[in-house]
Structure 1
Amino acid sequence: MQAQEYDAIVVGSGISGGWAAKELTEKGLRVLMLERGKNIEHIKDYVNATKGPWQYPHRGGRTVAMEELYPVLKRDYPLNEKNLDWWASDRDAPYTEVKRFDWYRGYHVGGRSLMWGRQSYRHGDLDFTANAREGVATDWPIRYAEIAPWYDHVERHAGIAGTRNGLEVLPDGQFQPPIPLNCVEEESARKIAARFGGARHMIHSRVANATLKLPHRNPCQFRDACWLGCPYGGYFSTQSSTLPAAAATGRLTLKPFAIVSEVLYDRDAKRATGVRVIDAMSSQTTDYKAKLVFLCASALNSTWLLLRSATDVWPGGLGSSSGELGHNLMDHHFRIGASGRMEGYDDKYYYGRRPAGFYIPRYRNVGRDKREYLRGFGYQGSASRDGWSRAVAELGIGGEFKDMASEPGQWRMGATAFGEMLPHHDNKVTLDPNKKDKWGLPVLAIDCQIRENEHKMRKDMGVDMAEMLEAAGAKDVSVYDGDYAPGMGIHEMGTARMGTSAKNSVLNKHNQVWDAPNVFVTDGACMTSASCVNPSLTYMALTARAADFAVNELKRQNL
């Protein structure tokens, strides 16, 4: 086997991996970034970014053949012909559902940073202290004050558009000018604030769509086609932001089609020595050596790697000595909310296609509000006018049909709630000894479900939104509760959590594996609790913070 040596190895090239590569190379380290899938080059490989619906064989939809090839992906929006190539194959990389879990993955350079929803919010002390305050799971080993400077750091580079609102429940950040609310949202925000005495707030979405020019990136063009890749670099992705920064140092080596099968561990030194890699095309195996290993392969894949590593020392894998590796899996439960018709704005329209709308931060179990469940939820939504497709079901053919289709329809407004899932030891992943993937590697078995606390919360999540819509003047308000299963939020968290001691967690406060201090896990696997806000900004901040710590420890010869 061929051995090659670097200062640091980064496994995965998504949001966390891109940040690890950027920070480590800019601090002087020679970095090898390994990605199990193909390369996607910025701009050149965004082949569908400027296509119209009429340019697709099936108008951007799906076919029966696609559904047969992607039995998991077909459960939701990822299955479509516009960017199907960016979602992992259900056949090549299967997994076992002990209970239903919709796992949507992106195996290519950039990972899901190319397809993410870009909602970017900070966790606050309400989140970092929740477990300790309520006696749930284990305490976070950090507080907001420790991570706040790193939120500042990543926000400035990522380009977060938003407004400072002075809300304790949702800390302010380093924002570019916001993506504007439209007239219906602005008026609704005023009415909701008045109706609920300032206890509920409809604010601008905070999104990683730049509204001002950044290095390597132009401002958002209001095309709302982010999930196809942005030729302008309008939104944050590995390709548009962290990868060019890392490459500019001359210290980055990127290897696609490199499946990391295990972390190599020296039981005498109690350190990782590198990783073992299977070439996805030739199946040839290569060992790479490094002083540091950053696991950023996404929550479940980083844990899969740990479960397969150092099993000669710990049968449960590297980091399993606490009994928590693979446990405490979380997602955000959603697909519940409300919508209604907004009257009185028929002479108003809007410009472009915004990639964001409004956000309503958590207000339940905040201050004096007490519910029969723990934690809370926030809403993401928007107001808009119906488009031409509304005419299809109402009219047949002819001039009347064309006239209706050419005019904007009625205004509607709605929002979906995203609720916090509590960390529960029995929500877990394990290795399935009986099922293998295309490369002969064991797959994950996922055993996860929402529980009583989440079910109680969901009752408020629908009713509350209907109440706010009615306060805003909406008519014909209806509540919807969709077919949610864990995983659908695409916010997998936990399974290698941070904690206060080696007895209650896999990682310490610096994202180091207790059992191997030169191995860092900075993606969603590290999360001790979920909050109710989108987690990617926290992954960025924790990754930058861990990289800074790792380089300093390396200089002190502690690693």
Structure 2
Amino acid sequence: MSYIITGKAKAGNTYDAIVIGSGISGGWAAKEFCEKGLKTLVLERGRNVEHVKDYPTAMKEQWEFPHRMEIPPQIRNQNPILDKCYAWNESTDHFFVKDEEHPYIQKKPFHWIKGYQVGGKSLMWARMTQRWSDLDFEANAKDGYGVDWPIRYKDIAPWYSYVEKFVGVTGNKDGIPHLPDGEFLPPFEMNCLEKHVKATIEERFEERHLIIGRRANHTERVGNRGPCMKRDRCYRGCPLGGYFSSNSATIPAAIATGNLTLRPDSVVHSIIYDEESGKATGVRVIDTHTKEMMEYYSKVVFVNASTINSTLILMNSTSSRFPNGLGNDSGQLGKNLMDHNYEGAVSGQHDGFKDGYYDGKRPVATYIPRFRNVGNDKRTDYVRGFSFSFEALRSPGNMEGIDAPFGADFKNGLFRLGSWHGGMGGMGEMLPYEENQMTLSKEETDQWGMPLVEFNCDFKDNEYKMLDDIVNSGAEMLEAAGFKNIKTRIRKKGIGLGIHEMGTARMGRDPKTSVLNGNNQLHAVKNVFVTDGSCMTSGACQNPSITYMALTARAVDFAVSELKKRNL
């Protein structure tokens, strides 16, 4: 395809903008720059993946896979980190990076789940899209953890609306102040048991709500995408465009302008800094196959390689002006690493609603927004709060009273509906701790000559006290709704499996305590912007991806304005 560079950079290797990474935030940066008329180079370290063409398992049935979608034990044993990821199976294997392909060092357990291809992890994300509110943007300032965000909800609200209209987000306007409503497609419908749980919770518990999830699956056609057919195969890539990904949405929009140049198989080594001008002039790139180093140049650089790799690039971009990494005057680069706490869950069985069922495999669960430390529901043993994802399902087969998995009784049992089950998964906020950090190894390198990342990160007392509350309050709600055989689980598998790594190049008001300003610029290098998860100053308990998208669109708008003024 003409928009892809596969060979060595040539004489014409200068662009208006360079975007590092093609995932959720990088795709948005590409779209916005290209639609504003800038010749834009997108660098992606992984292979090219084209929408529809490169989704090899999207239409396969379970029995068509050699191992019925299970990863064989030998491969699991070779990938102890990846094996902990909920979305990895035989149908999605091709989108995940194996442990040995890009190793790293765990001083304390941090499970880094990677997807190296055009589109990045936008192909495999869970698609939950909740806005933040000032409850989140003001939290650091109020309780003293971390530093104050340099923005508030009013600064980002119009950009949430802007990206939601293009993304296609389903949901209800629920009128919950600390979970602002957005620009929604019609919602998916709750099933009968979920409606019962909603009624019970909202009657029995003050300030608790159960709503249908807000998700980037399309109940109506969005441009030429969708609608979602409720096949529950999203992680394989959707040939229908029934959910938002870079591959189905932002990258095609960028291609349509004629302004995009996409170079896959490109590991960014570092950003080139010119000491005389005080600006970045471009990037150094290693071809993943030939290991050849080359350089590309631009007026502005957006770093969107996903939190860990973005910070790795900045830390590896050293000079006499920045011996500890580009823009790292504060010493905060690599610190304040966060993820969400998904360690607590609750489940149970319900004996009612024997005459009820549902249609298809709905791609969205219901959602219980944060209620702790909101309004009158205060705790004194920990700060911040958590949310829940809740889903009720009915077993498709009733094996009660059947002794063996064969014969006529077994066959008939498969066609009878079983009992209802419900599960709540907690999502707790993790505080930004300076000592939770990533650093670069001084001795070990990967196959491209880049230093290995070292992680030293763990949950602390606040997260564990919150975790106890997660399972206790979840069990309390299921019991109130009439569930039986309620089980709670705290798994303590380690940080990273939320796949919401954030915070290692945080935004802030003061250059002495943060890396980026309120426009996502490096304080010290004004033509370098970072808008992926590394920019986050706190983690909240909402899924962060729609916030990355809004921050990216906002930052590109600012950058283009500054370019026109010749300020960059």
> TM (normalized to structure 1)?
0.98
The separation in 2 between residues aligned to 1:436 and 1:36, in whole angstroms, is 16
2-structure distance, mates of 1:188, 1:120? 22
SS in 1 for 2:251: helix
Amino acid at match of 1:85: H
Offset from partner CA, 1:277-297 (integer Å, 9 cap, x none): 111111111100000100000
**Which residue of 128, 131, 134 corresponds with 1:125?**
134
Paired residue total: 558
Tell me the equivalent position of 2:366.
358
C-alpha deviation, 1:311, in angstroms: 3.3
Residues 2, 286 of structure 1: 8 Å contact kept = no
SS of 1:66 mapped into structure 2? helix
Please give the alpha-carbon distance, in whole angstroms, between the structure 1 residues aligned to 2:403 and 2:55: 36
Is structure 2 residue 94 aligned with structure 1 residue 55?
no
Give the letter aligned to residue 60 of structure 1.
M
Residue aligning to 1:92:
101
2:313 matches 1:305: yes
Is the alpha carbon distance of 1:393 and 1:464 closer, same or farther for their aligned partners in structure 2, counting shifts above 3 Å?
farther
- Deviation track 1:109-152 (CA, whole Å, cap 9, x = no partner) reads 00000000000001100000000011111000000000000000
Match among 178, 181, 196 for residue 169 of structure 1: 178
Corresponding residue for 1:152? 161
Superposition pairs for residues 159-558 of structure 1, below 5 Å? 159-197=168-206, 199-371=207-379, 372-388=381-397, 395-558=404-567
Deviations 1:52-86 (A, max 9, x none): 11111110001122124323101233442211111
Alpha-carbon distance between aligned partners in 2 of 1:274 and 1:391, rounded to the nearest angstrom: 66
Q: Distance in 2 between matches of 1:312 and 1:115?
A: 40
Partners of 1:381 and 1:230 in 2: CA distance: 24
SS of the residue 2:99 aligns to: coil
Confirm or deny: 8 A CA contact 1:25 1:251 kept in the other structure: yes
Question: Which amino acid is 2:244 matched to?
Answer: F
TM-superposed deviation, 1:212: 1.2
Aligned to 2:3: none
> What is the DSSP-based 3-state SS (H/G/I as helix, E as strand, rest coil) of the residue aligned with 1:517?
coil
Deviation at 1:216, TM superposition (A): 2.7
Runs of 4 or more, structure 1, over 6 Å off, are: 389-393
Match of 1:66 among 64, 71, 75: 75
User: How far 1:389 moved relative to its partner?
Assistant: 9.2
Q: 1:100 is aligned with what amino acid?
A: P
Q: Is the 8 A contact 1:470 1:477 kept in 2?
A: yes
Q: 1:555 to 1:57 in 2, by over 3 A?
A: same
CA distance in 2 between partners of 1:394 and 1:264 (Å) = 69
Identity %: 50
2:120 aligned partner: 111
Shift of 1:388: 3.9
TM-superposed CA distance for 1:392, in Å, is: 12
Q: Distance in 2 between matches of 1:379 and 1:237?
A: 24
Q: d(CA) in 2 for partners of 1:249 and 1:427?
A: 42
Letter paired with 2:97 = A
Decide whether the 8 Å contact of 1:299 with 1:523 is kept in 2.
yes
Distance 1:261 1:444 in 2: 14
Matched letter for residue 314 of structure 1: F
> Is residue 398–residue 413 contact of structure 2 (8 Å, CA) maintained in 1?
no
8 Å Cα contact 2:370-2:385 kept in structure 1: yes
Say if 1:391 and 1:496 are closer, same or farther in 2 by CA, change over 3 A. farther
What's the C-alpha RMSD, in Å, of the aligned pairs?
1.4
1:333–1:484 CA contact under 8 A, matched in 2: no
Instruction: Provide the secondary structure at the position in 2 that maps to 1:541.
Output: helix
Q: Are the structure 2 counterparts of residues 207 and 540 from structure 1 closer, same or farther at C-alpha, using a change threshold of 3 Å?
A: same
Contact 2:343 2:467 in 1 (8 A): no
Residue 390 (structure 1) shift:
6.5
- The question of whether the paired residues in 2 share the 8 Å contact of 1:218 and 1:232 is answered with yes
Instruction: Give the 3-state SS of the residue equivalent to 1:208 in structure 2.
Output: coil
- Measured in 2, the distance between the counterparts of 1:491 and 1:174 equals 24
Per-residue CA distance 1:157-198 (angstroms, 9 max, x = gap): 00000011111121111111111111111121011100113x
Alpha carbons 2:399, 2:410 under 8 Å: kept: no
CA–CA distance in structure 2, aligned partners of residues 378 and 362 of structure 1? 5
SS in structure 1 of the partner of residue 424 of structure 2: strand
Paired residue type of 2:506: R
Secondary structure at the counterpart of residue 526 of structure 2 = strand
Contact 1:216/1:241 (CA < 8 Å) preserved in 2?
no
1:515 Cα deviation after fit: 1.5
Aligned to 1:39: 48
Tell me how far 1:89 sits from its aligned partner. Answer: 2.4
How far apart, in 1, do the equivalents of 2:155 and 2:407 lie? 64
Tell me how far 1:314 sits from its aligned partner: 1.8
Q: Which runs of 5+ in 1 are unaligned?
A: none
- Please say if residues 437 and 456 of structure 2, whose CA atoms lie closer than 8 Å, have aligned partners that are also in contact: yes
Cα deviation, 1:308-333, whole Å, max 9, x if unaligned, reads 00333222100211010000000001
Which amino acid counterpart does residue 239 of structure 1 have in structure 2?
Answer: N
Instruction: Return the letter of the residue paired with 1:144.
Output: Y
Q: Provide the rounded CA distance (Å) in 2 between the counterparts of 1:76 and 1:7.
A: 38
Per-residue CA shift, 1:200-221, capped at 9, x if unaligned?
Answer: 0000000000111112302111
Q: Which residue is 2:5 aligned to?
A: none
8 Å contact kept, 2:398–2:418: no
Q: Give unmatched runs, 5+ long, in structure 2.
A: 1-8
Q: Secondary structure at the residue paired with 1:435?
A: strand
- The range that moved more, 470-479 or 124-133, is 470-479
**Residues in 1 aligned to 2:141 and 2:88: alpha-carbon distance in whole angstroms:** 40
State the SS of the aligned residue for 2:527: strand
Instruction: Specify whether residues 393 and 356 from structure 1 end up closer, same or farther in structure 2 by C-alpha distance, changes over 3 A only.
Output: farther
After superposition, the C-alpha distances for 1:466-512 in whole angstroms (9 at most, x for unaligned) are 11111112122121112431101000000000000111100000000
Cα distance change on mapping 1:356 and 1:78 into 2, 3 Å = closer
Q: Deviations over 1:413-436 (max 9, x none)?
A: 111000000000000000012222
SS for the counterpart of 1:491 is coil
- Cα distance between partner residues in 1 of 2:403 and 2:456: 45
CA contact (8 A) 2:159 2:553 kept: yes
* Distance in 2, Cα, partners of 1:52 & 1:11: 36
Q: Tell me how far apart the structure 2 counterparts of residues 76 and 508 of structure 1 sit (CA, whole Å).
A: 34
TM-score normalised by structure 2 residue count: 0.96
Aligned residue in 1 for 2:23: 14
